[in-house]
Homo-oligomer: A and B are copies of this chain.
Amino acid sequence: MKQWKECTKEELSAMRAEFASQYEALKEKGLKLDLSRGKPSSDVLDLSNALLDKLDSWRTEDGTDIRNYGVVDGLPECKRLFSDLTGVAPERMIVGGNSSLTHMYNTMALFYLFGASDEPGCAPWGKAEKVRWLCPVPGYDRHFSVTQDMGAELVPVPMEEDGPDMDEVERFAGPDPAVKGIWIVPLYSNPTGAVISEEKAKRLASMKTAAPDFRIFWDNAYGVHHVWEAHKAPDIFALCDAAGNPERAVYFFSTSKVNFPGAGVGLVAAGPATVKRMLAHLKMETIGFDKTTQLRTVKFFGGSAENVRVHMAKIAALLRPRFDLVLETLDREFTGTGILEWTAPKGGYFVSVDTLDGCAGAVVARAKEAGVTLTGAGATWPYGKDPRDRNIRIAPTYPGVDELAQTLELFAVCVKLVTVEKLLESA
């Protein structure tokens, strides 16, 4: 197939007519589909319905009555389950309620209000003249929103196939004490599905930073969410400890996409001094998170990490056809055209695509007009502004396979139509 950029004006005009008529035909179908958010589908949620069953005991293994006050840092058996699953030591953990995003926001708020450390030069970030935060792009909009809400200046750094561009990261964090941290999704990053390499994780853990309180917000959101073969995130705590930076990483995990996003158990873990710091303030904030959800979660899995893995394999079996359909469709429709690039995610929840420059916003608008909601163009960039207007996040997990096929058909037509229009502008 000829690369579209090499097409003549006449060829492009003919293509435009064809795609416009395809688009109008699809539009007439009156679709009403949503490919915008990383939500689990009903068939995935159904796998966890036993969580709603009667809880036959309100006692923990140590006899604590979960109906009453107390246990601010989370049930021991819940910590143990998560420790077996993630490799994070229970002593580093605080297990809370729904959701890990709340842990991230609250940790950030804590650092803004009280500082990240008592070491010299570590004033509350809210008192600093400027806080800058590194945001691998494309990345997760809700991460960016947390730091934006606090008032940090968001600094994009390119995301590569094995993690962020570390030269760029070091170029910012090395000399500038205002650079206080970075967002990292180590496994199956949102939206590219990349897995960070051991080497890059090691550089993150050990690099010199001008800020003594530089923090890696390590959101292992997809830590057990394999789609094809299983990958593993590097052990960031071990790497930070080895580098003499034991407080650098703050780790997040949750069962939102393991069981129910509407009733998950969120986890935050950190270095010893940071956990102590968090707990000191957390004790002022609550007398305990919802312990029934914690105990239900433990009982659902019989306290066994292996059972979580078995459960996640069932979820993967439901997700694989959806991902395969996306990748097959993109391959069939766009390979050789030179108008669309996409990631081959290793797992997780998303596929990231890049159109030609200046086309993403128009594609999303066209799809919307025909009844299909895509993640907003620019959402994968700080402030919602993709400077090249080319990245779109495809979230294939929520619709059923048939709906997904319809959505992708429309998506492909929108990309083609918008692209030929763009090419015609300069033809």
Which residues of A come within 8 Å of B, CB atoms? 37, 39-40, 42, 45, 48-49, 51-55, 58, 65-70, 97-99, 101-102, 105-106, 109, 112-113, 124, 126-127, 142, 145-146, 148-150, 256, 260-264, 281, 284-293
B residues in contact with A40, CB < 8 Å = 68
Contact of A262 with B53 in the complex, beta carbons under 8 Å: no
- Interface contacts beyond A45-B68, A51-B292, A263-B293: sample of 5 additional A-B pairs, CB < 8 Å, sorted by A: A37-B69, A68-B260, A69-B256, A149-B284, A261-B287
CA–CA, A113 to B287, complex, Å? Answer: 23
Contact of A52 with B262 in the complex, beta carbons under 8 Å: no
Task: Tell which of B106, B148, B262, B288 touches A66, judged by Cβ atoms closer than 8 Å.
Answer: B262
Task: Tell which of B142, B262, B285, B289 touches A67, judged by Cβ atoms closer than 8 Å.
Answer: B262
CA–CA, A126 to B109, complex, Å? Answer: 12
The 4 closest A-B pairs by CB, nearest first: A105-B285, A263-B292, A52-B55, A67-B260
State how many angstroms separate the Cβ of A147 from the closest Cβ of chain B: 9
CA–CA, A281 to B70, complex, Å? Answer: 28
State how many angstroms separate the Cβ of A282 from the closest Cβ of chain B: 9
Contact of B45 with A67 in the complex, beta carbons under 8 Å: yes
Q: Report the nearest B residue to A57, measured CB to CB.
A: B52
Q: Report the nearest B residue to A69, measured CB to CB.
A: B261
Most-contacted residue by chain B among A99, A126, A260, A262 (CB, 10 A): A262
Task: Tell which of B52, B58, B69, B288 touches A292, judged by Cβ atoms closer than 8 Å.
Answer: B52
B residues in contact with A48, CB < 8 Å = 67
B residues in contact with A58, CB < 8 Å = 45, 49, 52
B residues in contact with A68, CB < 8 Å = 39-40, 45, 260-262
CA–CA, A109 to B285, complex, Å? Answer: 10
State how many angstroms separate the Cβ of A160 from the closest Cβ of chain B: 27
Contact of B263 with A290 in the complex, beta carbons under 8 Å: yes
B residues in contact with A54, CB < 8 Å = 52-54
Q: Report the nearest B residue to A146, measured CB to CB.
A: B284
CA–CA, A260 to B99, complex, Å? Answer: 20
